Amino acid sequence: MTNKFILNIILLLAATVVLFFANLFLGSVNLSFSDLHDSMASVIFYQIRLPKSFTAVFAGASLALCGMLMQALFRNPLAGPYVLGVSSGASLFVAIAIIIMNNSLMGLNYFLGKTLISMASVAGALLVTILILFVSKKTKNNITVLLVGIMLSQILGAFQGLIEFMASPNTLKSFVVWGMGSVSGTGMNDVMIMVPVCLLVFLACLFMAKPLNAILLNESYAQNLGINVNQLRTTVIIITAVLTGIITAFCGPIAFVGLSVPIACRLLFKTSDQLQQMVYCIFMGAIVLLVCDTLCQLLSNNFALPINTVTTLIGSPVVIYLLFRSKLIGQ
Amino acid sequence: MIELKNLHIGYKNGQISTTVFSNLNANFSKGELIGLVGNNGVGKSTLLKTIFGSIKPIKGQIILDNKNSSEFSFQEMAKRISVVLTDKIGGFNLTAFDVVASGRVPYLNAFGQLSEADRSIIENSLEQIGISALASKLIDELSDGQRQKVMIAKSLAQQTPVIVLDEPTAFLDHSSKLQLFKIIKQLCKEQNKTIIVSSHDLDMLFKNADKILYLKEEGAFEFEKPELIKNYFTS
């Protein structure tokens, strides 16, 4: 651990805390601490703002971490859960789960319903991650893998479109809104599921720093350095599927955070140590999504903008910039 | 040090196995520089991969430290044989120092953080190869010759008695080749390492190797001193 790393973490932690509170108190109704005695304000605070801010922190951190893990595993700076279709896989499975539940499992209890949706979401994410891994073993070309991922999300999107077409108007609207991504659809109950799962996975990831450092060279070198590459691959796939799945179940498919945050961290902090990179990504992911969500709230008066409009506006220029700097892509 | 015993090498894909070369017998001693020659596709890379444990032998054994090498775990192999491969590496902010530092991976704890002792081993390795000045440079910015030196320094930091190099001179100009072989030879003689080098650069190997393993097209092989192997190529 270097002093520079510790200093950076203190700064990032401070920024996260400040933005967390800004996100809590700013919005269509600006709150202050003294308002919390008021019953209306305290309902907004505890039932809407607090779960939303927590969701922004953990969704951002998780997606950034997933992107970082996928980029290291595929040694492809353009990898991420959204661009490679993992989020789409999760979305499609959630849509299917919702349809089935609406038709046959009405009146399911809240926790069981959420758990089923989360599990469907994880399964969808897992399926796509395994497919992408298979493709990346067939071709060494990063751009091919990216294009296959984009095509895959189109295919999954088409199926989802079909389901939406057949859905009732009410279900349709909730699908469409959900598909735009949002961190405000969660209650304190959801946060209680999401936060412990995320924290547990974050902690587990820190133990993967050594194999991740080795695999940056390539898989043959990593194996020669004593790393069990198959085991690492399986672990990364399960972790990204669980995190992307859970986050997508609660927030919908959030675009570009998983792709652009790890890239930004590499450019900003200039370290190749994957332990540091992981911690940076967790904080920066939280910061980016807090900022995006606060912008969503501030830019419109009566309603919050869908978060994907903001993340896409920030994220896609990053990808275009990278495509023009081929050195960073390695092909 | 290393003994190939009735070794059959090749690839297994599920139930089907394709043998590339069969019945190899050879013995590599400490401090020897072994050259591996043969035409493209004859099985040089497959043999090297089998030796460092990336693929399993189809039949036969590789004896390493008086033990069948397939009994070693990844971790144990990592402390015995290090490799320099043909694959180009780069990106991810990797500096020359980082790449050499990866040689310490088999010795690190779960978080992969370097100790002071690890750092001095890395600095020492950089110095021995004469690339201390490149330490903080990004790998992407180095020339092919410099990259190759970095990879050899990585092998040094890995502190293995055996080093395997797969076509290390492939992208190098003449003076870089000379430098590289000088370094390799030094490591054999001064540090008593067994180094196995596959190459199409016959002149370099004839000049520097202690023994040469020549894999022939028809599935036969010769394992002799360079002077004798030379006869097969001068007709």
Per-residue pLDDT of A295-305, as tens digits, reads 888 887 677 78
pLDDT band at A326 (very low <50, low <70, confident <90, very high): low
Chain B residue with Cα closest to A73: B92
Higher pLDDT, A101 or B167: B167
Residue B41 contacts A, CB cutoff 8 Å: no
- Look at residue A79 and tell me whether its pLDDT is greater than 90: no
Q: Is the predicted ipTM greater than 0.90, yes or no?
A: yes
Q: What is the pLDDT of residue A331?
A: 39
Contact A218 B77 (CB under 8 A): no
Residues A156 and A329: their CA atoms lie apart, in Å, by: 26
Nearest C-alpha in A relative to B113: A1
Task: Look up residue A106 and give its two tokens.
Answer: 């009405």
pLDDT value of position A12: 97
What pLDDT sits at residue A330? Answer: 47
Dihedral of the alpha carbons of A179, A180, A184, A187, in degrees to the nearest 10? 0
Counted across chains A and B, CB pairs separated by less than 8 A come out at 93
Q: Name the residue among B90, B110, B113 with its Cβ closest to that of A330.
A: B90
- Using CA atoms, how far apart are residues B4 and B6, in angstroms rounded to an integer? 7
Residue B92, classed as helix, strand or coil, is coil
Number of folded domains that form chain A: 1
How many residues are recorded in chain B?
235
DSSP letters for A252-318 = ----SHHHHHHHHHHHHH----HHHHHHHHHHHHHHHHHHHHHHHHHH-SSSPPPHHHHHHHHHHHH
In chain B, ranges of CATH 3.40.50.300 domains? 28-56+66-80+161-235
Alpha carbon distance A9, A276 (integer Å): 9
8 Å CB contact of A270 and B90: no
Q: What average pLDDT does chain A have?
A: 86
| Closest CA relative to residue B114, chosen from B163, B157, B151 | B157
The answer to whether the CB atoms of A77 and B91 lie below 8 A apart is: yes
CATH of the domain at A164: 1.10.3470.10
Find the mean pLDDT for residues A14-38.
83
| Class of domain B28-56+66-80+161-235 (CATH, top level) | alpha beta
Q: Which structure tokens are listed for A43?
A: 């309902």
Q: Which residue has the higher pLDDT, B63 or A237?
A: B63
**Each residue of B4-28: pLDDT tens digit?**
999 999 988 778 888 999 999 999 9
Stretch A54-67: mean pLDDT, rounded?
96
* Per-residue pLDDT reduced to its tens digit, B63-116: 998 999 999 999 999 999 999 998 889 889 999 999 999 999 999 988 888 999
Of A51 and A182, the structure prediction assigns the larger pLDDT to: A51
**Domain hosting residue A160, numbered range:** 3-329
Q: Is B156 a residue whose pLDDT tops 80?
A: yes
| Mean pLDDT lowest among A173-187, A260-274, B102-116, B145-159 | A173-187
Question: Looking at per-residue confidence, does A73 or A185 come out higher?
Answer: A73
B192 C-beta neighbours (distance < 10 Å), count: 13
The three-class DSSP label of residue A156 is: helix
B194 — pLDDT class (breaks 50, 70, 90): very high
Among A73, A74, A224, most B C-beta atoms within 10 A, so best to mutate, is A224
Q: Which of B48, B102, B150, B156 to mutate to test the interface with A (most CBs of A within 10 A)?
A: B102
Instruction: Reply yes or no on whether the pLDDT at A213 is more than 70.
Output: yes
Rg (CA), chain B: 18
Strand B162-166 vs strand B81-84: parallel, antiparallel, or unpaired? Answer: parallel
Q: For testing the chain A interface, which of B86, B111, B165 should be mutated: the one with the most A CBs within 10 Å?
A: B111
pLDDT at B218: 83
Mean pLDDT in residue range B27-47: 93
Among chain A, residues having any CB pair with chain B shorter than 8 Å are 1, 72, 75, 77, 206-207, 209-210, 213-214, 216-218, 220-221, 223-228, 266, 270-275, 327-328, 330
DSSP B139-197: GGGS-HHHHHHHHHHHHHHTT-SEEEEESTTTT--HHHHHHHHHHHHHHHHHH--EEEE
Confidence of residue A140 (pLDDT cuts 50, 70, 90): low
